[in-house]
Structure 1
């Protein structure tokens, strides 16, 4: 049975107004966890989503599916609209109360309201950037410097870290009340028998292993955009986004479009709960395996889990935006354009990316190394054979 949890006030148009005068002309104060009303100068702090909605409470009592208003099936918005980029086809969220144009965070194309398409729901929460643009540029520069020896000349000649863009990517957080059962085989080594004339033999005991557990999972994050969730994409290196996890999700605050401002854009959510739940279930099993690992340390040769079962008693979903600095480069691979991304976690500075490789140069370097190794190892191998 599904139950809707009302998102805190302000979710209707994505803007939290001044609590003193009701004005929406609000700015975020730099280096301060505060908003200030430009009309009456009133200041107030950010409210954490976890506290506003009690998301750390009652996980053990969850039953069925609970979801926030903002995590419900996608409908059209009023103030926030999505613009489709003419340049690359990506979709960018724009707060039309504040601006009528934006730049695509993937190809830098300028967008207008003529590209408007239906939008997903306004999220419940947002995790503000704490890594500055200058810091992110430094992270990306160092990442590229370590790999530029084998980069494509076109990438090296056009690389400009100042072209990075801050983008809020859509995720859903899910709390889970689950029960898991793992069945498998564990092995304990008893004896190792070595011989000069035959291969080493091992004697070990084999045991049936079962682990059953009840687990409360708090704030698991799941991608909620189909394009970026496709980590096996043949046209872009989306998988780098997962490599910059985790985010400090407990510091997510209630969503306010003022966080986007003029500096940041956002990717829209186009995935509903029904389409994300299989990914969440897979992550739940991963958590269960992690919980079981310390309990099977006596099996020195490891445990092979042959059967994994997960019963989901209850889940609670919310919709959030998480901060990422992105740099993109499009290269031609076998006649097809492939977008290479370098991503920086907007909270921790963790950096990962894909630099297009000059395959001829890399192959030449590999051949040179192989020849150098052969020059050293072949005489040694000959000497060893002669001695034996």
Structure 2
């Protein structure tokens, strides 16, 4: 079982650990609901070191990215959310591609899909005889997300760390832009629906940054992150999307460029087996689990208790393109029927 560079530090803060994608990570530090509300109203931070960080360099780096990525127009010094697409038009991961210049990219991938993603990248390099090199820096670095409406003010304190860029350079970052200094990478991104930053830095700096982070914010776990991302209408690959489903019909169409190389393959696969991902607000308890069946025919993919709405919410995938306001039944754990209403996502609206 892998441990992140923050593991020992998290243990001292009474983290309750769980296994996720082969790594021990904090599930919570006492209360997932309190942690989620903290991030909505103030500032919290997450250990996301389990996620894959991959550098791609070489004269054909951009050519490689454009062969397998669902976005075609890639701006320099910006990050781009989208999908890694196989030769068969299957979505094998959702990723963020950061472009420094046409020969220098940094990508963030899901932990459970990293090996599959690297396998695809290497296949494309070899098959197309591309001049590009892949370097997986995941095990050499720590990765942390600072999230919440007060993240911009709090992150200034990190200027105490010599290896980081100046505080002013960090807070001036626009959404999805990034800055680098040596082996440190900072982007204005996140997975909570709030403002925030994600930092990749050498693993040996984990303790130094932790001491500052616990002074300016509070540590939060996977459970809070799951609540926050679902409230914000963000998918989790492996549950809400996989190789057998599609971004089409899943409120994700804007992340697939018509000019991308494998657009037609992705669209063809969707039309051959159309399914539709919808938001659902449940009337009550119990909270469904992934895989619970619905009527009309479908399945729950993700479900949590919303800290903001104070009721269960879920994503569900249906064969019909249900409309907002339609009612459904969910058979929870194959037994109790809980009713719900199809709703637009995100579940909570930010100013």
TM-score interval for Structure 1 and Structure 2 normalised by the shorter chain: under 0.3
* Structure number with bigger Rg: 1
Identify which of structures 1 and 2 has the higher relative contact order when contacts are C-alpha pairs closer than 8 Å and 6+ apart: 1
